[in-house]
Amino acid sequence: MLIVQKYGGTSVGSTERIKAIAERVARIRREGNDVVVVVSAMAGETDKLITFASEISPAPPEREMDLLLSSGERISAALTAIALNELGIKAKSFTGRQVGIVTDTAHTRAKIERITATQVKKAISEGYVPVIAGFQGTTETAEVTTLGRGGSDLTAVAVAAALGADLCEIYTDVEGVFTTDPGIVPEARKLEKISYEEMLELASLGAKVLQTRSVEFAMKYNVPLVGGKVKFYR
């Protein structure tokens, strides 16, 4: 199987957690699967970078914000690849540019136009686990862009579609999509199935468990979400 696993900010929140992820990826890899990992920035990192910029300027240029924010995911990707190599698993980290994620020019909220994934496919065929920095791409002219808050979900769904993955697993701090935010409403029920329309509505009402854009993308390219190819784990 080809499995894309996306780890959110909490899941890569410390070096201990990154080592734990590496153990899990290593196990699945040793079972004979091809694994592609997509990571978010460590929890709080993106907000911290935004705060740094705001301490310097009330209106930092969006181009600079994108280069700044894309670095959070790069840190997680490189650390995760280091952790995997430490366990004897061949792994390589990739930036959005190296994945060939081409976006429009709308800095800080760019839309993905296409994904080539040439180097990622080559790495898989050579036995590497590609570890992709989420949330980023580049424009046609190599300007770094980010995909809007929560954008690593979009990277995961889009990469899974581009590679024709068998499964896309989303690791986050809740174990699925619930009727409402389980962090606020303890009686929230976990959904076994959800339509694109319902998921879009939840996302656009602020349920950040899946970024709205990632749901739109999934709908457009018919990537089955909850109850389908995209599964959630805690």
**Residues within the interface to ligand ASP (CB under 6 A):** 9, 40-41, 46, 72, 134-135, 149-153
CA distance 201 to 206: 9
Number of neighbouring beta carbons within 10 Å of residue 200: 18
* Helices and strands (H and E) in the chain: how many: 8, 10
> Which C-beta is closer to ligand ASP: that of 98 or that of 214?
214
The pattern of x and - marking residues 133 through 172 that bind Mg ion according to CB under 5 A reads -----------------x----------------------
**Using CB under 6 A, which residues numbered 55 to 74 contact ligand ADP?**
none
Question: What radius of gyration, in Å, describes the C-alpha atoms of the chain?
Answer: 17
Question: Could you tell me where the DSSP H helices lie in the chain?
Answer: 15-30, 45-56, 62-86, 96-99, 118-125, 152-163, 196-204, 212-220
> Are the CB atoms for 88 and 168 separated by under 8 Å?
no
67 binds, among ligand ASP, Mg ion, ligand ADP, none (CB under 5 to 8 A by kind): none
The DSSP element (H or E) to which 9 belongs, if any, is none
Instruction: Please identify, using beta-carbon distances, which residue of 13 and 150 lies nearer to Mg ion.
Output: 150
Token digits for 119?
């180097």
Q: Using the rule CB under 5 A, is 13 a contact of Mg ion?
A: no
The least CB distance from residue 161 to ligand ASP, in Å, is: 17
Residues 143-182 that bind ligand ADP (CB under 6 A): 150, 172-174, 177-178, 180-182
For the CB of residue 83, give the shortest distance to ligand ADP in the complex, in Å.
Answer: 18
Q: Which of 61, 127, 183, 224 binds ligand ADP (CB under 6 A)?
A: 183
Distance set, CA 66 to CA 8, 185, 186, 216 (Å)? 19, 34, 36, 22
Q: How far is the CB of 216 from ligand ADP (least distance, A)?
A: 16
Residue 41 partner contact from ligand ASP, ligand ADP, Mg ion, none using kind-dependent CB cut-offs of 5 to 8 Å:
ligand ASP
Cβ of 122: how many Cβ atoms within 10 Å? 11
Residues of this chain that bind ligand ADP (CB under 6 A): 8-10, 40, 150, 172-174, 177-178, 180-183, 202, 207-209
